[in-house]
A = this chain, B = another copy of it.
Amino acid sequence: MSRERIAHGEGAIYEFSPDLEAATSVESGAELTIETRDSLDGTIRTESDVLDSIPSEVNAATGPIAVEGAQPGDVLRVEIEAIRLAEAQGRVITIGGFGLLDGDDVIEAPRTRLTPVEDGTIAFGDLDVPIEPVIGTIGVAPESGSYTTLVPHDHGGNLDTTDMTAGTVAYFPVFQEGALLAMGDCKAAMADGEMCGTGAEIATEIDVTLEVVSDPETELERPLLETADAWKTVASAETLEEACELANRDAIELLAAEHGFDRTDAYMFSSLVGGLEISQVVDPLVTVRNAVPKAYLTSPF
């Protein structure tokens, strides 16, 4: 199967909802190249382009892509094979009303800094930062409720998680027939936490392989990531503490199932290896991961 290209123009969403209509449909096993715009839709081109507040439409997610055969209760396996930058510059911004230090007298918002793409790096002033592209927004149609592409939740969405990069396999619960996957809001580089509100936002092409895991051994309530070294549960909530609880509970379930622990022993074991990691602290809900090294967990599917 040659790689099918899914252009941004074929469809993009600013909201994940149960009644999404597919912009395109593919078979399980499809190898795709998905084009994504930058999170600000190309409106930030010079350092004079600044945003006084978050636009009502941000983080355009290319899709929705229906994967044939995906039924509620299934799992959608998204193998991220490569992410290529698709423009000559990224942009890092502060925005009025957004960011970890929002409201601080010393921090100027809005401000825009461009990050020109060089050979394997982006430039921030005199500094060069290695390009390590991250997909910020990636998710499926939710079970219920509507979430803009700025919000992360059990369906994925604006997870802003540095692990969402080439080499990772992301597993999503399927809530709606076809799953209805969409992705966008990529960064050429990003720190855990995304403190100012953005990484280096940039347009990309993403190579993925999509596969339906039918009748999975383990049902997911929230996304699960498989990196080179670890399995990581991913949870979003109003506070970091609440997100930590959810992510830890999900990790406990996996450890209990793998080792025959009861939940208390799984909880105690989870306190010895890997651990809690911040994804982002700036979106309307915040996101945390609980990593468990692969030495202690095999695939739950």
Q: Which A residues fall within an 8 A CB radius of B?
A: 92-94, 99-101, 106-109, 111, 113, 115, 124-127, 129, 162, 189-200, 239-241, 244-245, 248-249, 259, 261-265, 267-278, 281, 286, 288, 290-291, 296
Contact = CB atoms under 8 A, between A and B. Distances in A.
Nearest to A271: B196
B124 A269 contact: yes
A259 B126 CA distance: 9
6 contacts: A92-B268, A92-B269, A125-B265, A191-B271, A193-B244, A196-B271
A46 to B, nearest CB: 16
A269 to B, nearest CB: 5
A74 B108 CA distance: 32
A116 to B, nearest CB: 14
A270 B107 contact: no
Contacts of A197: 271
Nearest to A192: B275
Nearest to A288: B278
Contact of A240 (B92, B127, B239, B248): B239
The 3 A-B residue pairs with the shortest CB-CB distance in the complex, in nearest-first order:
A192-B275, A191-B275, A193-B276
Number of chain copies forming the complex:
2
Contact of A193 (B196, B249, B269, B271): B271
A193 B267 CA distance: 12
Contacts of A268: 92-94, 111, 113, 124, 196
Q: DSSP majority for the A interface?
A: mixed
B124 A94 contact: no
B190 A271 contact: yes
Contact of A196 (B92, B106, B270): B270
A54 to B, nearest CB: 16
Contacts of A100: 241, 244-245, 248
A295 to B, nearest CB: 9
A248 B280 CA distance: 13
Contact of A264 (B111, B189, B190, B259): B111
Given A192-B276, A277-B192, A277-B278, A101 B265 contact: no
Nearest to A122: B272
A231 B288 CA distance: 22
Contacts of A101: 245, 248-249, 267
Given A111-B268, A192-B276, A193-B271, 5 more contacts: A92-B272, A99-B267, A106-B263, A192-B275, A196-B270
A241 B240 contact: yes
A191 B273 contact: yes
A107 B259 CA distance: 17
